[in-house]
Structure 1
Amino acid sequence: MLIQAGFDIAFQCPARTPMLLQLNVHPSREADLRSADLVTARPNLPMTSYMDLYGNRVTRLDVPPGLVSFHNRLVIYDSGEPELTPPDTELTPVVGLPDDVLIYLISSRYCDSDKLSDFAWANFGGINGGYRRVQAICDFVHEKIRFSYPHARSTRCASDSLHEGIGVCRDFAHLAIALCRCMNVPARYCTGYLGDIGVPRDPAPMDFSAWFEVYLHGRWYTFDARHNHPRIGRVVIGRGRDAADVPISTAFGTANLVRFEVVTRELDQQRASA
């Protein structure tokens, strides 16, 4: 299938403000693109890009005072198949994990697993098998947290989510990641597009989504504690230890958000080929 994805985002800046944007599709999906993945700015501004420590593409620019808007529409190919479920075999011992995976076992800004270790082992330590343990964590987080946009808070970490029981998709991901890390399961945060493909349409305005990946049996697998079942058509933008590593925008000054629209939908392929 073909998926159209994109955004229209605008900021009001009272003074010249350097900014970083993480809005391009992750390089691991570039081969699936069927149109240019091009972030455009209005007014037209010089922009450069670089790859960060986690392999994400970051756009760098200097924004003058006033209103600035960013736009993109892209078309990307997707298999149309639900995400794979990993085989339920024993976990890889920590000593057998690749060096570059070990960072995803360590506490981070929003995934404060050092505060949750006793809770995690008491609740999930008796579950054998990597997949069953991760799925039990997803089931717990799915039931524990009530989704609520009005209760979003940028400072909420995993231990806060456990006690408060409310949040948005990033909070589901952070708590699940932290609990997985407590159980010696490498887990990393993902952000990107997730449309209502193969599921009933959500009447709420569309947003970027957050989920996570765990390293099992020599590869990364997708899990989503908010929706808690395999989905079709995820398009990853960024990966990192937690949301602090993959912000959609970073302003080195004041940048007030005045417009935010996200689009993700299955594209009619007959119309796309016309």
Structure 2
Amino acid sequence: MKIRAGFRLSYECPQDTAMLLVLNIHPSRRADLLGEQTLSFDRPIEARGYLDGFGNACSRIVAPAGLTTITTDFEIYDGGLADPVPENAYQHEIKDLPDEVLVFLLGSRYCDTDRLADFAWKTFSDTPLGWPRVKAILDFTHNHIAFDYQKADPLRTAFGGFTDRTGVCRDFAHLAITLCRCMNIPARYCTGYLGDIGVPVDVNPMDFSAWFQVYLGGSWHTVDARHNKPRIGRILMATGRDATDVALTTAFGPAILKHFEVITEEIPTLAM
């Protein structure tokens, strides 16, 4: 299966403004590209790429004063299979976790584990370890939060999503990640493309999507509290502790988003 994806983002800056961009696909998916995936700018801008501490492909730019538009458009191969369900994956004891995984047990800016630990242990301590416990957390989060684009709040933490009971895909991810961490299951935030492939078309505008991964049985496994079912055609862009680490753009000065457009669609196969 082939997928076409990309975006068009425009920012207006009153002065030259340094920015960090996390807008490339993740290095783990670059081998699947059917051509180049590069960032293009509508003005002369020099971009320098680097890998951050989580292994994400990032870019540094200085956006000139005025309106700057950033675009990318690419095609990528995908196996066309739904997310695998790790039904037999076991939960590690903390002493057996790799050193680099430990950070994904800790609280972070949007994953305020200290405020949800008591609830998590009261609610999930009787569930079997491993995948059954993760599934219980997914089910709870999926049913607890109502998806509503109009209720998006960039300052809402996991505890805020828990109390507000509304939000967007990042709120589902933050709450489920936090509950997993409270139960000693490493969990990390993911952002990327997820089109309406194999499911009814969403009436909401196409957007980037947030999901997460849990570390069970020696591997990271993709899970999604918003949709709460395996999906086809995810294209990973970045992973981190929470949305802070994978922000699409971080501006070191005023930068107003003027245009936002995302495309993710399956390329039809021509009949022979």
- TM-score range (shorter-chain normalised) is over 0.9
Deviations 1:191-238 (A, max 9, x none): 000000000001211000000000000101111000000000000101
Partner residue, 1:135:
135
Q: In structure 2, what is the Cα distance between the partners aligned to 1:90 and 1:229?
A: 20
Closer, same or farther: CA 89–68 of 1 in aligned 2, 3 Å: closer
Matched residue, 2:37: 37
Give the secondary-structure state (helix, strand or coil) at the position aligned to 1:137: helix
Question: What is the 5 A alignment of 1:2-21?
Answer: 2-21=2-21
Residue segments in structure 2 that go unaligned for 5+ positions in a row: none
Would you say 1:226 and 2:230 are equivalent positions?
A: no
1:254-269 equivalence runs, <5 A: 254-269=254-269
Residues 90-111 of structure 1, C-alpha deviation per residue, up to 9 Å, x if partnerless? 4111111111111100000000
TM-score, normalized by length of structure 1?
0.97
Q: Name segments (4+ residues, structure 1) moved above 3 Å.
A: none
Q: What is the aligned partner in structure 2 of residue 252 from structure 1?
A: 252
Are 2:161 and 1:161 equivalent residues in the alignment? yes
The Cα offsets for residues 13-68 of structure 1, whole Å up to 9 and x where unpaired, read as 11111111110000011111111111000113111111000000111111111110
Question: Matches of residues 54-203 of structure 1 in structure 2 within 5 Å?
Answer: 54-203=54-203
Between the aligned partners of 2:129 and 2:77, the Cα distance in structure 1 is: 33
How far apart are 1:89 and its partner, in Å? 4.9
- Does structure 2 retain, via aligned residues, the 8 Å contact 1:186–1:214? yes
SS state at 1:139 partner: helix
1:89·1:129 contact (CA, 8 Å) conserved in 2? no
Q: Which residue of 1 aligns with 2:239?
A: 239
Contact 1:109 1:244 in 2 (8 A): yes
Cα distance change on mapping 1:120 and 1:251 into 2, 3 Å: same
- Matched pairs, number: 271
Q: What is the identity, as a one-letter code, of the residue corresponding to 2:83?
A: E
Distance of 1:30 and 1:90 partners within structure 2: 30
RMSD: 1.0
My pick for the range that moved more, 236-245 or 110-119, is 110-119
Tell me, yes or no, if the aligned pair for 2:87 and 2:132 is still in contact at 8 Å: no
AA at the equivalent of 1:100: E
Q: Deviations over 1:108-148 (max 9, x none)?
A: 00001121111001100000131110011010000100111
Instruction: Classify the secondary structure of the residue corresponding to 1:211.
Output: strand
Q: What is the distance in 1 between the residues matched to 2:178 and 2:18?
A: 32
Partner in structure 2 of residue 50 of structure 1: 50
Mapped partners of 2:95, 2:212: distance in 1: 23
Indicate if the aligned counterparts of 1:90 and 1:128 stay in contact, CA closer than 8 A.
no
SS in 1 for 2:177: helix
Aligned-residue sequence identity (percent) comes to: 51
- CA distance in structure 2 between the partners assigned to 1:194 and 1:44 by the alignment: 31
CA–CA separation in structure 1 for the residues paired with 2:44 and 2:65: 13
Shift of 1:75: 0.7
Report the Cα distance in structure 2 between the residues aligned to 1:30 and 1:185, rounded to whole angstroms.
28
SS in 2 for 1:44: coil
Q: Note if contact 1:88-1:132 (Cα within 8 Å) is conserved in structure 2.
A: no
| Deviation, structure 1 residue 269 | 3.9
Q: Which amino acid aligns with 2:4?
A: Q
Matched letter for residue 248 of structure 2: I
In the alignment, the residues of structure 1 paired with residue 158 and residue 89 of structure 2 have an alpha-carbon distance, to the nearest angstrom, of 27
